[in-house]
Structure 1
Amino acid sequence: SYRERILKMVGDPKQQEIISSNLTTEVPKSARALGKNWQEYMFEDMPVAAAITLLSKLQSDVRYAEGEVLHTLVSNIDVKDIRVNRLDAFVIPEKTTLYPGEVFNADIVMAAVDTTMQPEIYVNGSKINANGKYSFTAGGVGEHSFSGYLITRNAAGETMRRDFLQKYSVIPAPTGATVAADLMNVLYAGFQNPMSVSVPGVPANAVSVSMSGGSLVAKGDGHYVATPAAVGKDVVFTVSANDKGKTRQMAQVTFKVRKLPDPTPYVVVGSDRFKGGNMPKASLVAMDQLHAAIDDGLLDIPFKVLSFETVFFDDMGNSIPIASEGASFSGRQKDTFRKLSRNKRFYVRGVKAIGPDGIQRTLPGAMEFIVR
């Protein structure tokens, strides 16, 4: 009913009571006993002049009730708003580090603040300085975020909370100048070449690398293993960066592909790799296998020895070659070692080996052994 709708809009209980009484249509018990409704009770057998006066009073009561509603509405305007007394302009960029040709995007806004009421600010569960200045020391490289919330009060004294989440990236610190030998961009075919790839200003997990002419396996944190397929065929690495869902090509780098260098044959004597020269008789007799590896101080790549031969000399100076099918010295070769006297010489030659690139090769030269 009209009265009920009006009463819902008035907050003061006393005014509600007055308006309810003025606008009541309740019929007294005696009139209800006679079967009369409110209209009959109020106006039946009443002179016209008196009825007009009663209707005028009813109009006045309605206007009074509407006036109270308007008063309540006006007094509640802005009661749940946050009062402000200063306007500031802010530029909120998507990012502050750009590449040549990249578009700078930012939101330029007018923000209203209340300098008389500072909000309570919480970051990661801890309250910070009321002026809103927040600083911390960045941790490990990669994507990170921090979150929190602000608490303030409106004009009605009600608490308002607003949550926030901010993401940021940490990139490796510059380590100085980069020096590259333009003629030495070389990879070895069939070999798992370790690679490191980084893009300044971009976290490792946002960098992608592809390779033509071979296979590339990511090992995490900017490290990769590249295996070129064929000798003499250059490979090209394409480096891209992902920025807010957009992929941007950063560089293309070409590497020459070469065959692995020939290894050097050796035998193990204690913790040393013996590659020729004077050898005690006891160490000679204890030799079991021939090994081969690239061991130049930069690479340490083992090869599998497939076969070789030893060359001994009799008292007449005639050569006596003895072959070994495999990496181990044969029984005949070992027997000959035991018979060698001091200052005798023999050689290991014709070493056939295969490396991780799958290429079989016969090593040039020979190892000389002198019995001491």
Structure 2
Amino acid sequence: MAGGKLTPRQKMINLMYLVFIAMLALNMSKEVLSAFGLMNEKFETANNAAMETNSQILSALGTKAADNSAQFGAAKKMADQVAVITKNFYDYIGKLKVDVTAGVEKNENGKLPYEAMDKGDKIDEGWFEGDGYSAKGKEIVSTMDKYRADMKAVLGNDAKYKAIIAEIDSKFNTADVKDGEGVTKKYLDYNYKGFPSIASLTKLTAMQNDVKGIEAQLYNAFMGNTAMAAASMKNYKAFVMMDKSAFFQGEQVTGRVVLGRYDASTVPTNVTVNGASTSTENGSAVFKMAAGSVGEKEITGKFTFMEDKKPVVIDIEGNYVVVPKPNQAIVSADKMNVVYRGVANPISVSVPGISSDKVKASAPGMAAAGKPGQYILKPGAGNEVTVNVTATMPDGKPFSSKQSFRIKGLPAPTGKVRGEVAAKGAKSNLEVCTISAELEDFDFPVTVNVTQFNIKVPGQPTIVVSGNKMDARAKAAIAKAGRGDVVVISEIKAKFAGLDQIVKRVAPCTFEIQ
């Protein structure tokens, strides 16, 4: 520009242009250097904030792992490994920054003199040797490679971390780089050789920011993936929740279907069912208890979990119905629904699935026998009596039923002499015998009193005797009987003790003289 066949005046003008351009370049360089410094400050501020945020996330993950190691323990272990690897590499980069700024004095505001940091000789001399790396340069590349390998070793081949692994490979790749002119250069040569120290310092601080960013992503991934795994629909099951656990025929079945999480990682600190502690298996509480008496029963309890070092209680509510256990087949004679007039007929009343204290029965002549479900029925006049049963079902609704019984009089007694229907013995035995009448094969304790009977001795007229023992006439007739004669006792008349009921014809009895 200043050479050639130019006039002195033109040469002077051109020289002035060169000086002016140089001055512009110098002024632009200072602005660029200041811009790098300001960018470095912003990265430093972001890094400090990231350190605090990451520490809080790691602490929260530690609390979750302490409360529920089954669900968060593995994630916490990985996070601890990432924390150590990250700190070591972050601190190493910090030492490199100290080396870069060694000997540079800060101004009165405590800041580095960015505009004066236009030389890169410390890095050029310390990191490079000839066309390759110095020992320090090799150490830097080796440390970056180790950080990348260690982080990938922690994450393994889990597809959930594929994107983060790709970002680590991209941001911390130390392979050779082609510049804009297609020339292949080594990683440090391309990024740091010949650059102003403030630019290299900013790049190192930016690398620290990348390290903290990767750390934050992993912590959030660990927390998020654990929560996602716990909340995954694969861990949910559909549960049918009936409004009660037993229904009667014809009753409307009601309930709900809900989704519930059912996995082994959900481990409560304590479970109680009906006041007793119980254990958990595969994410569910297992309990055993006696069924209890017949009727509706409640199940209550609590799940206790620890969350943020505080107990969280979830109530357990349920119910079930106890029905009588079958101990025999029910066989009934269709025409044997009979009760006997004048005696205490025991009646048992029950309704399957309903406790006895909620069942009531009534009928003419019926009274409670003292125990739930037990009654005494003494029917009066008529040929039929109806027992009405009412009950309260587990859902509170009323229940009613009825059963009719035929009323029968007491059966005819059987006459007996000396307690036998056909007795044998000496005449002297017959003379002192008592004539009785009994209700044979009858399950009720009924006493029969004989008031009169006829005695017939062979060859002698029939004698009517009052009471139940032989009188003088009867004894005289018996005295005339011979060996082998059969004396017949007939027309026995009797009364039921305590009952206002006519006794049916009493069967006769005999006595053979020996």
Provide the TM-score with structure 1 as the length reference.
Answer: 0.60
Aligned match for 1:274, one of 420, 437, 445: 420
C-alpha offsets along residues 25-69 of structure 1, whole Å, 9 cap, x if unaligned? xxxxxxxxxxxxxxxxxxxxxxxxxxxxxxxxxxxxxxxxxxxxx
Shift in Å, 1:114: 8.0
Largest Rg, 1 or 2: 2
Give the 3 Å change call, closer, same or farther, for CA 361–153 of structure 1 in structure 2.
Answer: closer
Contact 2:415 2:437 survives alignment (8 Å)? yes
Give the Cα–Cα distance (whole angstroms) in 2 for the partners of residues 121 and 173 of structure 1. 30
Aligned match for 2:302, one of 136, 150, 162: 150
- Paired position in structure 2 for 1:208: 360
Q: Does 1:134 align with 2:286?
A: yes
Give the Cα–Cα distance (whole angstroms) in 2 for the partners of residues 280 and 140 of structure 1. 65
Q: Does 1:172 align with 2:324?
A: yes
- Paired position in structure 2 for 1:348: 489
Q: Which has the higher strand share?
A: 1
Give the 3 Å change call, closer, same or farther, for CA 355–129 of structure 1 in structure 2.
Answer: farther
- Paired position in structure 2 for 1:20: none
Contact 2:431 2:470 survives alignment (8 Å)? no
Amino acid at match of 1:360: I
Give the Cα–Cα distance (whole angstroms) in 1 for the partners of residues 292 and 424 of structure 2. 54
Q: How does 1:47-86 map to 2 (within 5 A)?
A: 85-86=230-231
Work out the percentage of aligned pairs sharing the same amino acid: 23
- Paired position in structure 2 for 1:329: 469
- Paired position in structure 2 for 1:320: 463
Q: How does 1:1-372 map to 2 (within 5 A)?
A: 85-86=230-231, 89-109=238-258, 116-119=265-268, 120-123=270-273, 124-130=275-281, 131-134=283-286, 136=288, 138=290, 141-143=293-295, 149-161=301-313, 168-174=320-326, 178-211=330-363, 213-218=364-369, 220=371, 222-232=373-383, 234-244=384-394, 245-249=396-400, 251-267=401-417, 273-280=419-426, 284=430, 287=433, 289-296=434-441, 299=443, 301-313=445-457, 317-324=460-467, 328-329=468-469, 332=472, 339=479, 342-349=483-490, 350-354=492-496, 357-361=499-503, 363-372=505-514
Amino acid at match of 1:358: D
Amino acid at match of 1:369: F
* Structure 2: tracts of 5 or more residues without a match: 1-58, 72-226
Q: Secondary structure at the match of 2:335?
A: helix
Give the Cα–Cα distance (whole angstroms) in 2 for the partners of residues 333 and 126 of structure 1. 87
* Structure 1: tracts of 5 or more residues without a match: 1-74
Contact 1:121 1:150 survives alignment (8 Å)? yes
Aligned pairs, number: 284
* RMSD value, Cα: 4.2
Shift in Å, 1:351: 1.9
Give the Cα–Cα distance (whole angstroms) in 1 for the partners of residues 258 and 319 of structure 2. 21
Give the Cα–Cα distance (whole angstroms) in 2 for the partners of residues 129 and 334 of structure 1. 90
Shift in Å, 1:243: 1.3
Provide the TM-score with structure 2 as the length reference.
Answer: 0.45
Amino acid at match of 2:286: Y
Shift in Å, 1:274: 0.7
Give the Cα–Cα distance (whole angstroms) in 1 for the partners of residues 365 and 377 of structure 2. 7
C-alpha offsets along residues 276-332 of structure 1, whole Å, 9 cap, x if unaligned? 343455754663x44322213x53543331502342548x623333322xxx52664
Contact 2:246 2:320 survives alignment (8 Å)? no
Deviates more, 1:253-262 or 1:154-163: 154-163
Give the Cα–Cα distance (whole angstroms) in 2 for the partners of residues 362 and 116 of structure 1. 82
Q: Secondary structure at the match of 2:346?
A: strand
